[in-house]
Amino acid sequence: MKVTTSQLPVGNRPLGRAEVRRRTVVPLDLEAYTSVQSELITFHGLADGQEHLAVRLGEPTGIPLVRVHSECLTGDVLGSRRCDCGPQLTDALAMIHERGGYLLYMRQEGRGIGLYNKLDAYQLQDDGHDTYAANLQLGRAADERDYTAAAQILHCLGAVEIDLLTNNPDKAEQLRRYGIRLRKVLPTVAHVNPDNYRYLAAKATETRHTIDLEGMFP
């Protein structure tokens, strides 16, 4: 299946003229989700040229449940307690498998600044900066993620109306601008611990993430 993004019905942000099409569709047995075979899907023509993935879980009939998940090596793979990315990924996979839909795994480490810069930002956070101020101290934007490629993937998959699993209002707004209709925006569970409380609090106060920290660690 292919789509020419210049012909897509979008809001006030053009998606460009690149032709986006599926590159490979690979069946994948996931140990925790064996009732329905999953698939990994790769793409040609994404706007940023990155190797983003779509993971199909369950049977996405009707309106699919979608999680657009930014890569986090420290959280997703190593189980770092400085964020809640790993637990969010686990939760999303389970919910999408039960309902049917897609997890988009976006190569946007450190809110788009890359792994090495993210680790440099960790050092600045240890000195008292919050997660956004640390990025700015490095000469980067507080959040450099652009969801053009995510919207292109969803259009290519035919998932132009979705239920989106996110706490991030910017993610939802960008997808809307790129022509994705959001029937529902469903919050993810906040996995709070003493090591990530300041990080999550900054997201709630500075970028309006829908995270309820009432009664959590001060």
Q: List active site positions.
A: 143, 145
Q: Rounded distance, CA 217 to CA 193, Å?
A: 7
CB 189 within 8 A of CB 166: no
Question: Which residues make Cβ contacts (< 8 Å) with residue 156, sequence separation at least 6?
Answer: 1, 2, 3, 20, 21, 22, 43
Q: Rounded distance, CA 168 to CA 154, Å?
A: 18
Q: Rounded distance, CA 174 to CA 169, Å?
A: 9
CB 98 within 8 A of CB 106: no
Q: Rounded distance, CA 192 to CA 172, Å?
A: 23
